[in-house]
């Protein structure tokens, strides 16, 4: 996957758009990061097969709304990599920010072997159905992050048990 500049903003399109989730993943308040609406064209946001979180798939004419998040520290990025785990890699995407400017951003994308469902994923649906049960699991997950073991890939965590529903992750 292409390298993302360490100061580049990230585009989040899934559960990381929820402020409670993002704050738990980063391990601090959101006051130190910049969050603004943004969108990416040519894709569609769908469920990862058997999961409650999304992935992006190419879709001519498609457009996905998300959040462009800047001001992320190296530790923030390591925590994000840990959260995203083995199902996502970091890619590069051109997004349109709130002012209509094209911005190059990092993006968590699923590798080709990850299967998608044909159901559109919606943040509001995830929040009403899954968020309440997910936040306690997320606290436990992020308690396992070891900044000393982060290395170049942010110490990606191992896969969860088959059939486990993690309630999401991004892009995003």
What are 84-100's pLDDT values in tens digits?
A: 988 888 999 999 999 99
In this structure, are residues 172 and 39 in contact, taking their beta carbons and an 8 Å threshold? no
Per DSSP, the three-state class of 54 is strand
* Structural domains in the chain, sorted by start: 10-149 (3.10.490.10)
Q: Does residue 158 surpass a pLDDT of 60?
A: no
Q: Is 43 exposed, middle or buried (0-12, 13-18, 19+ CB in 10 A)?
A: buried
* Kind of pairing between the strands at 102-109 and 10-12: parallel
The pTM score is 0.85
In this structure, are residues 6 and 106 in contact, taking their beta carbons and an 8 Å threshold? no
In whole angstroms, what is the distance from residue 137 CA to residue 105 CA? 28
Between residues 158 and 55, the one the model is more confident about: 55
In whole angstroms, what is the distance from residue 95 CA to residue 87 CA? 22
Q: Does residue 150 surpass a pLDDT of 60?
A: no
């Amino acid at each position: 996957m292409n390298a993302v500049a360490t100061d580049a903003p990230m585009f989040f399109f899934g559960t990381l758009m929820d402020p409670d989730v993002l704050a738990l993943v980063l391990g601090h308040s959101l006051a130190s990061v910049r969050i603004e609406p943004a969108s990416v064209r040519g894709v569609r946001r769908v469920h990862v097969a058997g999961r409650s979180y999304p992935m992006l798939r190419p879709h001519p004419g498609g457009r996905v709304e998300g959040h462009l998040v800047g001001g992320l520290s190296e530790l923030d990025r390591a925590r994000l990599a840990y959260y995203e785990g083995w199902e996502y890699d970091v890619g590069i995407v051109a997004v349109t920010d709130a002012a209509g400017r094209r911005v190059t951003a990092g993006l968590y994308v699923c590798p080709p072997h990850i299967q998608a469902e044909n159901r559109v994923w919606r943040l509001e649906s995830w929040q009403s159905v899954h968020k309440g049960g997910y936040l306690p699991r997320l606290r436990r997950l992020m308690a396992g992050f070891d900044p000393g073991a982060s290395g170049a890939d942010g110490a990606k965590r191992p896969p969860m048990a088959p059939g486990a529903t993690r309630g999401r992750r991004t892009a995003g």
